[in-house]
Amino acid sequence: MQKRALRLFSQYLGSIDVGTGSTRFILFTTEGQSVSSHQIKMTQYFPGRDMHEQDPYEYVHLTQQCIESVVEKSGVSKSQVAGIGITNQRETTLAWHRDSGEPLSKAIVWDDSRTASICESLSPYSQTFKSKTGLPVFSYFSLSKMIWLKQNVPDVQKALDQGKCMFGTVESWLLYNLTKEKVHVTDISNASRTLLMNLEGHWDSELMEIGGIPKESLPEIKSCCEVYGYMDGGALDGVPICGSLGDQQSALLGHHCLEPGSTKNTFGTGSFLLMNTGNKLVTSSHGLLTTVYGQFSKEGKIQYALEGAVEAAGSMMTWIINQLKLVNSVGEIEELASQVEDSGGVYCVPALSGLFAPHWRTDARGLIIGLTHHTARPHLIRAVLEGVCFRTGEVMNALYQDSRLRVPVLSVDGGMTANNLLIQLQADIAGVEIEVPQEKDLTALGASYAAGLGSGVLSLESIQKLPRNIERRFYPNISELERKAKWEKYQEAMLRSLKWIN
């Protein structure tokens, strides 16, 4: 039945989505409808405190497995696929050898905070980095990870000395391994997360000198929508890879946020809120990031965004299950938290690896406070859900302070949107209407749009005209007085989480 329906369409767009928890491949029609997908969980390595690593080979092998599975299930031929887009966890960094193509170490994941001391050593240049990149000096971004690899992995330093080291983020590694041309390129949205690209879209010589990273080790910066190379082997051999966006920018495109002021939030491993600011660079004075949204053609102008990154969202659910063992599955979280009307005075600050936006505090650590004899398992779980919502609410407040624009409706995506209680709590705590689109894979959808733009089968105007079907809407249902009281207690808890790590 599925194969017969698919033959009604002459062209499709593929989307490779390498997130923090899994890799997947989704086939979309040019009208933005997902028709077939396959997803595989990735192995996570935690070799020490504040360390999070992944296997570079898994990125490639799992991607290839997902592609083969989707093509087999769908019955679509490679001649019907106009192009493939890549979207990826940003900032995750790896190094490989120019001659052998072999990785020189495991990849250091974006939320790894082992590099706090390196960031401290770069702090005298913090204003230089901020003014040129829109980003603070923080372990979240790629530069400190590159420096750590250089200082701690002898093979990396040796390759650098020989001019044979290739640094990259996940999309660079995938493009190198999946293309016949073995290209060493990155797109402008991912490059903007390294602390080495200035906001004009170029590797910055002063920043490279400060970090000790030679330009020849870095990939060439390209737009988000152009042909980078052609698939090498497999079911889609010869199909162009012609779109690339960091996952949060990709979700912004997937939500059709093409006008300045349009805003989305993705509840993934972390929580990421972005507002399109168009061709205008908006400098934040309240802890948000000025970042690149994308460049949607080779000659097109750079589009920018304001972003607030929350370090822990879906990862808190994993923590509840795997570490605290309060529940056995994600589905139980909403069920248990709904058994109580509130958190019983318990507050959670989900700062398991410090606090990102708008605080940028590496000294903070997670906190649960307000425990009494009355506290039960449902109260704890509900407090964790509320903690995620407070953190996202903090970003929304900072966004308003920077832009003076109230977000009338917040469009959300990500795995956590299946939890109706969480989204209702977010509406209550932030005091905003929230809509959940019917299409759940907005990050992957954005990458397919980028591939459509890069292959020429779509335009920004045609994307804007595509329908957006809203599945659910949520409205605030607590009073302003109750909201204010909750925020006051959360602020007390948040301040107590600071200065925990020297």
Q: Is 231 helix (H, G, I), strand (E, B) or coil?
A: strand
Inform me whether the pLDDT recorded for 206 exceeds 50.
Answer: yes
| DSSP H helix total and E strand total for the chain | 17, 21
How many other β-carbons are positioned within 10 Å of the β-carbon of residue 44? 14
Give dist(CA 222, CA 217) in Å, integer.
16
Read off the pLDDT of residues 154-192 as tens digits, 9 standing for 90 and up: 999 999 999 999 999 999 999 999 999 999 999 999 999
Q: What is the DSSP letter of 203?
A: B
Q: Is 454 helix (H, G, I), strand (E, B) or coil?
A: helix
pLDDT band at 9 (very low <50, low <70, confident <90, very high): low
Residues 6+ apart with CB under 8 A from 290: 134, 135, 199, 281, 282, 283, 284, 304, 306
**pLDDT at residue 101, as a whole number:** 94
Inform me whether the pLDDT recorded for 1 exceeds 60.
Answer: no
Distance of CA 8 to the CA centre of its chain: 34
**pLDDT at residue 5, as a whole number:** 40
Read off the pLDDT of residues 208-250 as tens digits, 9 standing for 90 and up: 999 999 999 999 999 999 999 999 999 999 999 999 999 999 9
Inform me whether the pLDDT recorded for 501 exceeds 90.
Answer: no
**pLDDT at residue 230, as a whole number:** 97
More confident: 209 or 467: 209
CA angle 328, 331, 335 (to 5 degrees): 100
Give dist(CA 54, CA 246) in Å, integer.
18
Which residues is 39 bridged to in the sheet? 24
User: Which of 361, 305, 309, 109 lies closest to 192 in space, CA to CA?
Assistant: 305
Q: What is the DSSP letter of 361?
A: B
Q: What percent of the chain has pLDDT over 90?
A: 73
What type of residue is 196? L
Question: In whole angstroms, how far apart are CA 323 and each of 149, 365, 463?
Answer: 29, 16, 42
- Contact indicator for 344, 331 with CB cutoff of 8 Å: no
Give dist(CA 40, CA 340) in Å, integer.
35
Inform me whether the pLDDT recorded for 412 exceeds 60.
Answer: yes
Read off the pLDDT of residues 17-40 as tens digits, 9 standing for 90 and up: 999 989 999 999 999 888 999 999
Give dist(CA 445, CA 455) in Å, integer.
15
How many other β-carbons are positioned within 10 Å of the β-carbon of residue 181? 13
pLDDT band at 4 (very low <50, low <70, confident <90, very high): very low
User: Which of 138, 142, 254 lies closest to 196 in space, CA to CA?
Assistant: 142
What type of residue is 19? G
More confident: 438 or 491: 491
Read off the pLDDT of residues 272-328 as tens digits, 9 standing for 90 and up: 899 898 988 888 889 898 899 999 988 889 999 999 989 889 899 999 999 999 999
To the nearest whole number, what is the mean pLDDT of the chain? 92
**pLDDT at residue 283, as a whole number:** 85
Give the 3-state secondary structure of 68-124.
Answer: HHHHHHHCCCHHHEEEEEEEECCCCEEEEECCCCCECCCEECCCCCCCHHHHHHHHH
Give dist(CA 449, CA 115) in Å, integer.
35
Inform me whether the pLDDT recorded for 10 exceeds 80.
Answer: no
Instruction: List the structure tokens of 313.
Output: 């969202």
Tokens 């605080």 -> residue? 359
Give dist(CA 387, CA 369) in Å, integer.
11
What is the full DSSP assignment across 376-442? -HHHHHHHHHHHHHHHHHHHHHHHHHHH----SEEEEESGGGG-HHHHHHHHHHHT-EEEEES---H
Question: In whole angstroms, how far apart are CA 300 and each of 222, 389, 428?
Answer: 11, 36, 40
Read off the pLDDT of residues 100-129 as tens digits, 9 standing for 90 and up: 999 999 999 998 989 989 999 999 999 999
pLDDT band at 502 (very low <50, low <70, confident <90, very high): confident
Question: Pairing relation of β-strands 367-369 and 347-349?
Answer: antiparallel
**pLDDT at residue 6, as a whole number:** 45
Q: What percent of the chain has pLDDT over 70?
A: 98
